[in-house]
Amino acid sequence: MFTINPIGKVVCERKDVEDDYWGEVNSVIEINSELDESCLDGIEAFSHLEIFYVFHLVSDEKVQMGARHPRNNLEWPKVGIFAQRGKNRPNKLGATIVKLNKREGRKIYVSGLDAIDGTPVIDIKPVMKEFLPREDVQQPSWSAELMKHYWK
Protein backbone atom coordinates (compact mmCIF):
# COMPACT_ATOMS: atom_id res chain seq x y z
CA MET A 1 0.00 0.00 0.00
CA PHE A 2 1.02 3.57 -0.52
CA THR A 3 -0.51 6.99 -0.18
CA ILE A 4 -0.55 9.74 -2.77
CA ASN A 5 -1.62 13.18 -1.64
CA PRO A 6 -2.93 15.77 -4.08
CA ILE A 7 -0.54 18.59 -4.93
CA GLY A 8 -3.35 20.83 -6.12
CA LYS A 9 -6.72 20.97 -7.79
CA VAL A 10 -8.34 21.88 -11.09
CA VAL A 11 -10.44 25.02 -11.32
CA CYS A 12 -12.57 25.38 -14.47
CA GLU A 13 -16.08 26.07 -15.69
CA ARG A 14 -16.79 22.43 -16.52
CA LYS A 15 -18.63 20.93 -13.54
CA ASP A 16 -20.13 17.77 -15.02
CA VAL A 17 -18.48 14.58 -16.24
CA GLU A 18 -18.86 14.33 -20.03
CA ASP A 19 -17.07 12.22 -22.61
CA ASP A 20 -16.53 14.80 -25.36
CA TYR A 21 -15.91 18.43 -26.29
CA TRP A 22 -12.86 19.19 -24.14
CA GLY A 23 -11.02 21.27 -26.76
CA GLU A 24 -12.26 24.68 -25.64
CA VAL A 25 -11.83 24.05 -21.91
CA ASN A 26 -9.38 26.35 -20.14
CA SER A 27 -8.36 25.43 -16.62
CA VAL A 28 -6.29 26.68 -13.74
CA ILE A 29 -4.30 24.29 -11.62
CA GLU A 30 -3.91 25.70 -8.13
CA ILE A 31 -0.98 24.26 -6.21
CA ASN A 32 -1.66 23.53 -2.52
CA SER A 33 -0.33 26.03 0.00
CA GLU A 34 1.69 23.28 1.77
CA LEU A 35 4.02 23.21 -1.25
CA ASP A 36 6.53 25.98 -1.70
CA GLU A 37 5.68 28.16 -4.69
CA SER A 38 9.20 27.52 -6.02
CA CYS A 39 8.06 24.00 -7.02
CA LEU A 40 6.87 25.65 -10.25
CA ASP A 41 10.04 27.67 -10.96
CA GLY A 42 11.17 27.20 -14.57
CA ILE A 43 7.92 25.62 -15.72
CA GLU A 44 7.23 28.59 -18.03
CA ALA A 45 10.07 27.42 -20.30
CA PHE A 46 7.92 24.48 -21.42
CA SER A 47 5.06 24.71 -23.89
CA HIS A 48 3.27 21.58 -22.64
CA LEU A 49 2.81 19.71 -19.39
CA GLU A 50 1.55 16.27 -18.50
CA ILE A 51 -1.03 16.43 -15.73
CA PHE A 52 -1.78 13.41 -13.55
CA TYR A 53 -5.05 13.48 -11.67
CA VAL A 54 -7.64 11.37 -9.89
CA PHE A 55 -11.10 10.56 -11.22
CA HIS A 56 -12.45 11.42 -7.77
CA LEU A 57 -16.14 11.04 -8.65
CA VAL A 58 -15.85 7.41 -9.78
CA SER A 59 -17.40 5.21 -7.10
CA ASP A 60 -15.68 1.96 -6.18
CA GLU A 61 -18.57 -0.11 -7.55
CA LYS A 62 -18.10 1.48 -11.00
CA VAL A 63 -14.44 0.46 -11.26
CA GLN A 64 -13.73 -1.98 -14.10
CA MET A 65 -11.15 -4.70 -13.51
CA GLY A 66 -11.39 -6.62 -16.77
CA ALA A 67 -12.59 -6.10 -20.32
CA ARG A 68 -15.52 -4.02 -21.50
CA HIS A 69 -16.77 -2.20 -24.57
CA PRO A 70 -15.32 1.34 -24.54
CA ARG A 71 -18.08 3.78 -23.51
CA ASN A 72 -20.30 0.68 -23.39
CA ASN A 73 -20.66 0.91 -27.16
CA LEU A 74 -21.37 -2.64 -28.38
CA GLU A 75 -20.17 -1.69 -31.88
CA TRP A 76 -16.63 -1.39 -30.53
CA PRO A 77 -14.67 -4.45 -29.46
CA LYS A 78 -14.52 -5.56 -25.87
CA VAL A 79 -11.02 -4.68 -24.63
CA GLY A 80 -9.28 -4.68 -21.27
CA ILE A 81 -9.44 -1.60 -19.08
CA PHE A 82 -5.69 -1.08 -19.69
CA ALA A 83 -6.31 -1.03 -23.46
CA GLN A 84 -8.50 2.07 -23.14
CA ARG A 85 -8.42 5.39 -21.32
CA GLY A 86 -11.77 5.23 -19.53
CA LYS A 87 -12.20 6.82 -16.10
CA ASN A 88 -13.42 3.66 -14.34
CA ARG A 89 -9.89 2.35 -13.87
CA PRO A 90 -8.66 0.32 -10.87
CA ASN A 91 -6.68 3.25 -9.43
CA LYS A 92 -8.89 6.00 -10.94
CA LEU A 93 -5.86 7.80 -12.41
CA GLY A 94 -5.97 10.11 -15.41
CA ALA A 95 -3.17 11.72 -17.41
CA THR A 96 -3.37 14.36 -20.12
CA ILE A 97 -0.86 16.45 -22.02
CA VAL A 98 -1.95 20.10 -21.92
CA LYS A 99 -0.77 23.41 -23.31
CA LEU A 100 0.75 25.72 -20.70
CA ASN A 101 -0.60 29.22 -21.23
CA LYS A 102 0.98 31.02 -18.27
CA ARG A 103 1.98 30.82 -14.63
CA GLU A 104 1.02 33.24 -11.90
CA GLY A 105 2.50 32.38 -8.52
CA ARG A 106 1.18 28.99 -7.50
CA LYS A 107 -1.35 28.88 -10.36
CA ILE A 108 -0.76 27.49 -13.82
CA TYR A 109 -3.17 28.23 -16.63
CA VAL A 110 -3.62 25.43 -19.15
CA SER A 111 -5.80 24.45 -22.08
CA GLY A 112 -6.85 20.97 -23.15
CA LEU A 113 -7.20 19.44 -19.69
CA ASP A 114 -10.03 16.89 -19.62
CA ALA A 115 -10.73 17.16 -15.90
CA ILE A 116 -13.69 18.80 -14.19
CA ASP A 117 -13.70 21.54 -11.55
CA GLY A 118 -12.36 20.29 -8.22
CA THR A 119 -10.39 17.37 -9.65
CA PRO A 120 -7.39 16.52 -7.43
CA VAL A 121 -4.05 16.85 -9.24
CA ILE A 122 -1.39 14.41 -8.06
CA ASP A 123 1.57 15.33 -10.28
CA ILE A 124 2.78 17.63 -13.05
CA LYS A 125 5.61 16.84 -15.44
CA PRO A 126 7.01 18.94 -18.26
CA VAL A 127 6.65 17.42 -21.71
CA MET A 128 10.03 16.81 -23.33
CA LYS A 129 10.35 15.64 -26.93
CA GLU A 130 12.72 12.92 -25.81
CA PHE A 131 9.94 11.26 -23.77
CA LEU A 132 7.44 11.24 -26.63
CA PRO A 133 7.27 8.23 -28.98
CA ARG A 134 10.19 8.04 -31.39
CA GLU A 135 8.23 6.04 -33.92
CA ASP A 136 4.77 6.24 -35.44
CA VAL A 137 1.92 5.74 -32.98
CA GLN A 138 -0.45 2.91 -33.85
CA GLN A 139 -3.99 2.49 -32.58
CA PRO A 140 -7.12 0.57 -33.55
CA SER A 141 -9.79 2.25 -35.67
CA TRP A 142 -12.39 2.16 -32.87
CA SER A 143 -10.21 4.46 -30.75
CA ALA A 144 -10.05 7.11 -33.48
CA GLU A 145 -13.84 6.91 -33.78
CA LEU A 146 -14.19 7.24 -29.99
CA MET A 147 -11.97 10.36 -30.00
CA LYS A 148 -13.73 12.00 -32.98
CA HIS A 149 -15.45 14.68 -30.84
CA TYR A 150 -13.26 14.53 -27.75
CA TRP A 151 -11.18 17.66 -28.44
CA LYS A 152 -13.76 19.64 -30.44
Residue 121 lies in a domain: yes
Is 110 inside any structural domain?
yes
Q: Residue 5, class by beta-carbon neighbours within 10 Å (0-12 exposed, 13-18 middle, 19+ buried)?
A: exposed
Range of the domain at 69: 8-146
Mean pLDDT, residues 26-42: 97
DSSP E strand boundaries for the chain: 8-12, 26-31, 48-54, 67-68, 79-80, 93-104, 107-111, 120-126
151 lies in some domain:
no
Does some domain include residue 126? yes
The CATH number of whichever domain residue 102 belongs to comes to 2.40.30.70
In the prediction, which pLDDT does 120 show? 98
pLDDT at position 19: 78
Asked if residue 43 is part of any domain, the answer here is yes
Average pLDDT over residues 78-97: 95
pLDDT number for residue 23: 77
> Is the model's pLDDT at 74 over the cut of 80?
yes
Classify residue 1: in a domain, yes or no.
no
Is the residue at 2 inside a domain? Answer: no
Give which of 122, 54, 46 is closest to 89, Cα–Cα.
54
Percent of all residues in the chain with a pLDDT value above 70, rounded to a whole number: 99
pLDDT at 129 over 80: yes
Provide the number of structural domains found in the chain.
Answer: 1
Question: Does residue 3 lie in a domain region?
Answer: no
